[in-house]
C-alpha cells in the first residue's frame, strides 16, 4: 500500500491524498460505508459502485468469523470474491464488538474469551488468531487487535487498557510478519492509538505505535461516550505525532460535522454506521440540514429529498413518497434512505477534498457547518 499527499490546506491541517492498494485507488479524505457481515445494510453492490461511488468498504471480523465462518470465506477465496466487491476492503479487528459484550466475555492478557451473541457458543480472540482471521477474510487493510476503553474510563483503567493494546500490537505485528496473504494480493496492518481522553496517554500511544513504521495508523476509542470537544482535542494531540506521510483513520466517527471537523485536524479516513442506521430509521442527511422524514410536515411535500441531491445520487424520489414508504414499513423506504445518506457522506468528503485542492477548504467548511447541522 502506498500513500501520497496531493495538497495541504494552508488555513488548517486538512490534507488531500491518494492511497493505492492492489484493489484500486482511494482518494482521501474518504468515508467508508460499513459492511458489517459482508454487506452494507439495505444496499446493493451495484448502488455502492454506481450511485454512492464508494471507493472502499468495511467488513467486521467478529461478525464474519461467526457467520458465514472462516471455512466458507476461505472456500470462496476471501470476502472480495464472496460478496462481489472488487475494490478495497478494510476489516476491523473485532475488538470493539468483543468488548461491548460486557456480560458475556472475559478478558485476559492472552486474549478475550466470549460467547457468541448468536448461539451462546464459547470463542477466544487473541492477537494471533485475529491476524489469522483477517488473513482469511482477505481485507486490503487489517486492524490490530486492541482494547477499546469507554470514554468515561478513569485514568488508571485507560492506562491499563492502553498498555494491553500495545502488548497485543506487538503480538499482532509478529504474527502478521510471520504469515502471508492467502489470495495473491498485499495486505496492510494498521496499529490503533488508544488512551481514552487523557492527553498524556494519547501521546504515549501515538509514539508507541509509530515505531512499527506501518502503512497507516488508526485513532480508536473515540466517540464512545466522551464529549465531542474532548474527541477533537484528542485528535489534535495524536495527529501532532503520527507521521505526515501515512494515512490516519478515525474509527467509528461520525456525524457530517464530525467529519469536517476531523478533516480540519488532519484525519484522512472515516467509517460510521450513522448514515445507514439513521437512514433506516427515517433520518436523512442533506446539504441543507437534517430531516426526520417521519414528521407530518413532509406528508405532502413533493420536493426532492435534497434540492442539491442530484449531484450525489441519481434518483428523484420526493419527501412525501419516502415518508409514505417509511411510515408504511415498506422495505424500499430504508433502501432509498440508506443510498441517499451514503451518497451524501461520499459527496461531502469529495467536496472537502476538492476545496482542499482548490485552497479554500476552511472558508467552505465554515459555510457548510451551520447548514448540515440544522434541523429542517
* Alpha carbon distance 265, 286 (integer Å): 23
Strand partners of residue 31: 270
Whether 22 sits among the annotated catalytic residues: the reply is no
pLDDT at residue 71 is higher than 80: yes
The model's confidence at residue 101, banded by pLDDT at 50, 70 and 90, is low
pLDDT classification of 124: cutoffs 50, 70, 90:
very high
For the chain, percent of residues with pLDDT exceeding 70: 98
pLDDT of residue 183: 98
Q: Does residue 279 register a pLDDT over 70?
A: yes
User: Would you say 342 and 43 are in contact if contact means Cβ atoms under 8 Å apart?
Assistant: yes
Residues facing residue 250 across a β-bridge:
219, 270
Q: What is the per-residue pLDDT across 199-243, written as a single tens digit (0 to 9) for each?
A: 999 999 999 999 999 999 999 999 888 999 999 999 999 999 999
Q: For residue 173, how far is the Cα from the chain centroid?
A: 22
Average pLDDT over residues 248-264: 97
Residue 144, judged by CB atoms within 10 A of its CB (0-12, 13-18, 19+), counts as: buried
Does the pLDDT of residue 274 top 70, yes or no?
yes
pLDDT at 315: 80
Instruction: Cite the DSSP H helix spans in 179-282.
Output: 199-210, 228-239, 256-264, 274-280
Average pLDDT over residues 3-27: 97
Which whole number is the average pLDDT over 53-64?
Answer: 96
Determine if residue 338 is left, alpha or beta; phi over 0 gives left, psi from -120 to 50 gives alpha, anything else beta: alpha
pLDDT score recorded for residue 310:
84
**Exposure class string for 197-232: b at 16+ Cβ within 10 A, else e:** bbeebbbbbbebbbebebbbbbbbbbbbebeeebbb
Q: By the 8 A CB rule, do 246 and 206 touch?
A: no
C-alpha cell, 133: 482471521
- Cα–Cα distance between 324 and 354 in angstroms, integer? 36
Q: One of 9, 140, 215, 271 is an active-site residue; which one?
A: 271
The residues with which 105 forms a beta bridge, in sequence order, are 114
Catalytic residue flag (residue 71) = no
Q: What is the pLDDT of residue 206?
A: 98
Among the options 47, 92, 215, 306, which is catalytic?
Answer: 92
* Neighbouring residues of 269: CB distance < 8 A, sequence distance ≥ 6: 28, 29, 30, 32, 216, 247, 248, 249, 250
Amino acid at each position: 500500500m502506498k500513500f501520497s499527499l496531493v495538497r495541504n490546506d494552508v488555513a488548517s491541517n486538512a490534507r488531500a491524498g491518494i492511497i493505492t492498494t492492489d484493489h484500486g485507488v482511494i482518494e482521501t479524505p474518504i468515508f467508508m460505508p460499513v459492511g458489517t457481515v459482508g454487506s452494507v445494510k439495505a444496499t446493493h453492490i451495484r448502488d455502492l459502485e454506481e450511485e454512492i461511488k464508494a471507493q472502499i468498504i468495511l467488513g467486521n471480523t467478529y461478525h464474519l468469523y461467526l457467520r458465514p465462518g472462516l471455512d466458507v470465506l476461505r472456500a470462496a477465496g476471501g470476502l472480495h470474491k464472496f460478496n462481489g466487491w472488487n475494490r478495497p476492503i478494510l476489516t476491523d479487528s473485532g475488538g470493539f464488538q468483543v468488548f461491548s459484550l460486557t456480560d458475556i466475555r472475559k478478558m485476559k492478557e492472552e486474549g478475550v474469551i466470549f460467547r457468541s451473541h448468536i448461539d451462546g457458543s464459547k470463542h477466544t480472540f487473541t492477537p494471533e488468531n485475529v491476524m489469522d482471521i483477517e488473513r482469511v477474510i482477505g481485507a486490503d487493510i487489517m486492524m490490530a487487535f486492541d482494547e477499546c476503553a469507554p470514554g468515561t474510563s478513569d485514568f488508571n483503567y485507560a492506562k491499563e487498557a492502553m498498555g494491553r493494546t500495545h502488548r497485543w500490537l506487538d503480538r499482532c505485528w509478529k504474527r502478521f510478519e510471520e504469515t502471508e496473504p492467502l489470495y495473491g494480493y498485499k495486505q496492510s496492518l494498521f496499529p490503533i492509538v488508544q488512551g481514552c481522553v487523557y492527553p498524556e496517554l494519547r501521546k504515549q500511544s501515538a509514539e508507541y505505535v509509530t515505531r512499527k513504521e506501518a502503512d497507516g495508523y488508526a485513532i480508536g476509542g473515540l466517540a464512545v461516550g466522551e464529549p465531542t470537544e474532548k474527541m477533537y482535542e484528542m485528535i489534535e494531540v495524536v495527529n501532532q505525532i503520527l507521521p505526515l506521510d501515512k494515512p490516519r483513520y478515525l474509527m467509528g466517527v461520525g456525524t457530517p460535522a464530525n467529519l469536517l471537523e476531523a478533516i480540519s485536524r488532519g484525519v484522512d479516513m472515516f467509517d460510521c454506521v450513522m448514515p445507514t442506521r439513521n437512514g433506516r430509521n427515517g433520518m436523512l442527511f442533506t446539504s441543507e440540514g437534517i430531516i426526520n422524514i417521519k414528521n407530518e410536515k413532509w406528508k405532502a411535500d413533493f420536493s426532492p429529498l435534497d434540492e442539491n441531491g442530484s449531484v450525489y445520487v441519481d434518483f428523484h424520489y420526493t419527501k412525501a413518497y419516502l415518508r409514505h414508504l417509511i411510515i408504511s414499513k415498506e422495505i424500499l423506504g430504508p433502501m432509498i434512505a440508506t443510498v441517499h445518506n451514503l451518497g451524501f457522506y461520499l459527496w461531502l468528503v469529495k467536496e472537502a477534498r476538492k476545496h482542499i485542492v482548490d485552497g479554500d477548504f476552511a472558508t467552505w467548511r465554515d459555510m457548510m457547518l451551520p447548514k448540515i447541522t440544522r434541523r429542517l
